[in-house]
Structure formats: structure tokens, C-alpha cells
């Protein structure tokens, strides 16, 4: 059974290949229409794969990073801000004609940023997560990623992940996420857990579960999170 790192590695490998191909095939000023149409198609495929990949990372991987690592908030915050910038570039790229100067400029910009982002994940985050996750957890998150990709948005959507700052509104960062209980949470934090689960994303429910100190939240389904959050109120 592939684990979280197998699934993410495969995605990264595919994205890197697509980027290399697009870089290699950069068209000259007299490029034929057919060549440009093919380039546009390849860029659209890149946008699709990249959007799905980042969407499921934000749903299932970064919550686990925040949950498991001492510096998880910082690492996830850095990575998701890179992802949000990339989304903006891809959304713009999606509207442009292949071969136009702006398209090529944006693609070059995205290529450099995507390589940097992938390297950050693979060298700064994965080694720590390999140590922090049990085999069962790594397999479970791998499954969530694979299942999530079936319905993940294939465009860089306007929706943003739950901002890390939300949990820092009290001006204090938590040093560790392990062993927390619901006691000792500020009333400001508690207020984010009010209301019902209806209409909330999994990421939002996860954040509430985290604030409430729900154990085992990183491997829960959306329904399980909603149930746990409701029962802790
Ligand atoms: Fe990412
Ligand atoms: Fe990634």
C-alpha cells in the first residue's frame, strides 16, 4: 500500500517532468499554430495536476504537519503561502495564449517557484514527517491523498486554506501540539468552534478539532471530525 510519501513523490515526479518538457519546448517567434495548441494543452494539464496536488496537500498533508511537528505551523505556513502564490500565477496563466510573451514569462516564473516549493517540501518537511508518522498514519494519509484527488478541484480555485494566523490571533504560538487538552484554550479560540459543522470544509473542521485538542484528528474523515468537534462543545 503506497504511503503519503509515495503518493506525493509520484505527483512531484510528474510535475517536474511536465515542467522540463515545457521548458525544453519553449517556442520561437514563428512557432506553428499546432505547436502552440499542443503547448497550451500541456500547460492546462500542468495546471490540472498541480491544482489537484496542492488541494489535497492542503486538505490532508499540512494539517498532519501542523499536528505532528514542533515547527509544523511554521513549515506549513511557509509552504501554503508558496502554494497560494503559485495558484495566482496559474490562474492567470490559464487565461493566456501559449507563446504570448506574458504566458512564457509566467510559465518561467512558475517553473522556478514550483521547483523551489517541491525542494522545500522534500528536503525540509518530508524527512521530519517520515520520523513523526507511524507506518499506519503514513499509509492512511496516502490513502486520503489518493481518494481526495478523485474529487479535488482541477483549477487553481479562489478558496484558500485555513490561514495559520487565525490560530495565532491571541499573539501566542503554541510550542507543541502534542498532549494538548481542551482546557487552557482562550475564549477567543473557543469561539471559532461555535456554530454547526454544516457548510464547513474539512480543513476548517480540522482546525477546530486541533483547537479543541481532539486526539487522532490527523487521520479522521470529515464526518468523524464534525462529530468530534460537536461532541467537544
Ligand atoms: Fe505543495
Ligand atoms: Fe507537493
Query: Which band of pLDDT confidence, cut at 50, 70 and 90, is reported for residue 197?
Result: low
Give residue 228's Cα distance to chain centre: 23
Given a cut of 60, is residue 10 above it in pLDDT?
yes
Given a cut of 50, is residue 46 above it in pLDDT?
yes
Mean pLDDT of 133-145: 97
End-to-end CA distance of the chain: 36
DSSP H or E segment with residue 99? none
- Kindly give the distance from the C-alpha atom of residue 70 to the centroid of ligand 1, in angstroms, as a whole number: 19
Question: Nearest ligand, CA of residue 12?
Answer: 2
Q: Would you state the pLDDT for residue 62?
A: 97
- Kindly give the distance from the C-alpha atom of residue 102 to the centroid of ligand 2, in angstroms, as a whole number: 25
Question: Nearest ligand, CA of residue 80?
Answer: 1
Look at residues 232, 228, 143 and name the one whose alpha carbon lies nearest to residue 185: 232
Q: Would you state the pLDDT for residue 151?
A: 87
Tens of pLDDT along 149-184? 998 888 886 544 433 333 333 333 333 334 333 333
Ligand 1 is an ion; its neighbours by CB within 5 Å are 57
- Kindly give the distance from the C-alpha atom of residue 216 to the centroid of ligand 1, in angstroms, as a whole number: 23
Q: Would you state the pLDDT for residue 176?
A: 39
Q: Would you state the pLDDT for residue 192?
A: 35
Residue 163 main-chain phi, psi, to 5 deg: -65, 140
- Kindly give the distance from the C-alpha atom of residue 89 to the centroid of ligand 2, in angstroms, as a whole number: 16
CB 140 within 8 A of CB 67: no
The average confidence (pLDDT) of the chain is 82
Question: Nearest ligand, CA of residue 58?
Answer: 1
Given a cut of 50, is residue 195 above it in pLDDT?
no
CB 160 within 8 A of CB 84: yes
- Kindly give the distance from the C-alpha atom of residue 183 to the centroid of ligand 2, in angstroms, as a whole number: 34
Tens of pLDDT along 203-214? 778 778 777 887
Q: pTM (2 decimals)? A: 0.69
Q: Would you state the pLDDT for residue 184?
A: 32
- Kindly give the distance from the C-alpha atom of residue 54 to the centroid of ligand 2, in angstroms, as a whole number: 6
CB 121 within 8 A of CB 8: yes
Amino acid at each position: 500500500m503506497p504511503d503519503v510519501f509515495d503518493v506525493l513523490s509520484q505527483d512531484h515526479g510528474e510535475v517536474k517532468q511536465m515542467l522540463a518538457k515545457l521548458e525544453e519546448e519553449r517556442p520561437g517567434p514563428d512557432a506553428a499554430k499546432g505547436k502552440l495548441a499542443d503547448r497550451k494543452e500541456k500547460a492546462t494539464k500542468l495546471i490540472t495536476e498541480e491544482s489537484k496536488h496542492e488541494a489535497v496537500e492542503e486538505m490532508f498533508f499540512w494539517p498532519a504537519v501542523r499536528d505532528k511537528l514542533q515547527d509544523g505551523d511554521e513549515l506549513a505556513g511557509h509552504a501554503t503561502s508558496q502554494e497560494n502564490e503559485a495558484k495566482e500565477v496559474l490562474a492567470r496563466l490559464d487565461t493566456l495564449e501559449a507563446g504570448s510573451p506574458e504566458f512564457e514569462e509566467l510559465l518561467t516564473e512558475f517553473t522556478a517557484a514550483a521547483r523551489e516549493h517541491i525542494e522545500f517540501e522534500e528536503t525540509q518537511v518530508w524527512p521530519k514527517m517520515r520520523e513523526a508518522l507511524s507506518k499506519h498514519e503514513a499509509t492512511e494519509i496516502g490513502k486520503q491523498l489518493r481518494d481526495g484527488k478523485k474529487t479535488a478541484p482541477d483549477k487553481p480555485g479562489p478558496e484558500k486554506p485555513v490561514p495559520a494566523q487565525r490560530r495565532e490571533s491571541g499573539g501566542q504560538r503554541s510550542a507543541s501540539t502534542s498532549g494538548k487538552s481542551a482546557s487552557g484554550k482562550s475564549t477567543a479560540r473557543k469561539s471559532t468552534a461555535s456554530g454547526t459543522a454544516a457548510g464547513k470544509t474539512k480543513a476548517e473542521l480540522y482546525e477546530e478539532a486541533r483547537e479543541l485538542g481532539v486526539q487522532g484528528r490527523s487521520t479522521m474523515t470529515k464526518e468523524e471530525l464534525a462529530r468530534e468537534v460537536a461532541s467537544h462543545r
